[in-house]
Structure 1
Amino acid sequence: MPRGPKGEKRPADVIGSAIMIARIATGEIEEGTEPETKAAAALGKRGGKARAASLTPEQRSEIARVAAEARWKKGGS
């Protein structure tokens, strides 16, 4: 989904964009992030901490190794 100048989500199609602009102009919705997005982000952060706490050091190391390999593979020639 395209992002606006401040990182807010924007509809990809012209009609969806026009409808969103009209809703913002009439005050039906406020421009910016929706409350559901903030709540989901908060839950995601809490879940990540809980998962990290439940993993053994060996498991965390393996996950980090796989991630590093993927980054190097992606950025390499």
Structure 2
Amino acid sequence: MIGDAIKIARIATDEEKDDREPVKSASAELGSKGGRARAATLSGERRREIARDAARIRWKDQTPARSGKKELKDTTQE
């Protein structure tokens, strides 16, 4: 334990090179594996359905810019 603290202090003061491998969290590691496995089992049509639903939910409350329905604010004073 004290040896680890000394090593960290030496790394911080550039007396020693940090040769440790970067650590990825367990949840990130498992999540990326699960995502790849799910994508491999889904058909192309199902992936499109999921993407379409996600886009619909994402843009539900917003008017698309290309709809041509642009409301202009009345700036004239009465």
Short-chain TM bin:
0.3 to 0.5
Q: TM-score, normalised by structure 2?
A: 0.47
| TM value normalised by structure 1 | 0.48
